Structure 1
Amino acid sequence: MNRTIAWMFTLLLIALLTACGGSKQNTSNQPAAEQLPAALADTSISSKGDPKRGKELFGPCAACHATSKEMMTGPGLAGLFSVKGPVLPNGVDYNGMLPNGKERSEANVAEWIRTGGTGRIGYMPTHNLTDQEMADLLAYLRTLK
């Protein structure tokens, strides 16, 4: 009799533990596929910026970059800080990274804008922006969907 009660208690305990735990739930409003990795979600630079001023600063960038997903000389920058990233030409895949091989974080995007370099699409010139101008520009780039 005691063995039967012990087995029933064990099975009940297992059932309760299985039902109550072990699965992470998506508590955000975004679907699981759209949740941003930490590097993309970090807004430590752009949160200090003004997107309206960033839009003004974007003027020279428009010579090579669209604010949509349209390819020009450089990629369209809509979605730069999304999981999918910007649209690249066929045959070019940076595996979600920047052309310099670094992850797409605000700090690395700021570095890429400042130092430039050569990617598989073309050449990115250097841009001498103050920290506030960079924050403004990144705040604007975050608005591009």
Structure 2
Amino acid sequence: MTRLSRALALSLLLVGAAPAFAAATYTSDLLLSADFKAPWAKATQGIKNLPKWVRSGNGTSSPLEAVAGTPYQSGSVCKPHDCASHYMQLLEDGKAKRVWGVLIDLPDSDAARETPSKFARYTWLGQPDKGMQAALMKQVEADPNWQ
């Protein structure tokens, strides 16, 4: 294959892959979007002592991922510069413009970082029912660092 042919083939591959890279929506971008500002404000309404980064939805976040067999997407947002101890797992339903979450706070200790499930304090966001709480915890427990 000539050098020109290889370059052309590579450029076609990259052009074809570009939409996949461009399509990723990050969780914090969703919460800051015009469509989700009101649903997020409703989800956090009435919960006392929520940190500013939670109320605003502005933090370090992951791309949203589809949850198989459901209409939901899952993603996480954490406190900037302190992801290991303060983060949220969220589920959103784009059609219904609803969002639910669990804020997880851990004490600043080695033991809490090694086995977070034993030390976590949970704050439910968006008034999730028991089924939604279980779905959120399933997402949390899928993290290989969650023990």
TM-score for the superposition, normalised by structure 1:
0.35
Q: Which has the higher strand share?
A: 2
Higher relative contact order (Cα pairs below 8 Å, separated by 6+ residues): 1
TM-score for the superposition, normalised by structure 2:
0.34
